Amino acid sequence: MNLTTFRFLLSSRLFRRRLGRLKRQRLMRLLSARQRTPQVESLERRMLLAAGPRIVGVTPLPGDGESISAAIDRLTVTFSGSMAAGTVNNLSNWKLTEAGGDASFGTSDDQQVTLALASQYSSGTAVTLVFSGQTWPLQEGRYQFTGLAGLTDTDGNPLDGNGDGGGGGDF
């Protein structure tokens, strides 16, 4: 039975006789109040998980475990979104390590390569890093590039370097 049919029954003589005048008026007020009040559905509480920005490419470096076979003079780092310029321009957020004579990382003969910016980053999804000092250009060998978690996007989300869906990991 819809609302219109119910209202018709309320106004019919038979129904009016059975209900007293006060009851009928109270019921009519209740029905009209329900009609005017918008129905609001409660929503469940949700939390937005914002994944941090990612480094999606470093060219021309080869993949993990491979060596470079030709001298290179720059690295172009590509991000998944726009980054905060102050963190990208901070050279302490970038690290390039050459494996020493034992060709293993994390040993005492590893050498840090000094990095510099080709030009100041202001916006976009890529930055170019060059090598300064005696290390230019990079020679054949094994290198480990690291973008540190101090890098943030324009919303302040830290780098998701390890790809776990949350910010704060080095690349």
Structure confidence at residue 162 (pLDDT): 85
Contacts of 100 (CB under 8 A, 6+ apart): 107, 108, 109, 110, 111
Lowest mean pLDDT, pick from 27-36, 91-100, 121-130? 27-36
Q: What is the pLDDT of residues 119-158, one digit of tens each?
A: 999 999 999 999 887 666 777 888 888 999 899 999 999 9
pLDDT band at 10 (very low <50, low <70, confident <90, very high): low
Distance of CA 52 to the CA centre of its chain: 4
Structure confidence at residue 121 (pLDDT): 95
Contacts of 153 (CB under 8 A, 6+ apart): 52, 53, 79, 81, 82, 83, 84
Q: Where are the domains of the chain?
A: 3-36, 55-147
User: Does the pLDDT at position 19 exceed 90?
Assistant: no
Q: Pick the residue with more confidence: 134 or 59? A: 59
* pTM of the model as a whole: 0.67
Asked if 96 and 146 touch (Cβ cutoff 8 Å), the reply is yes
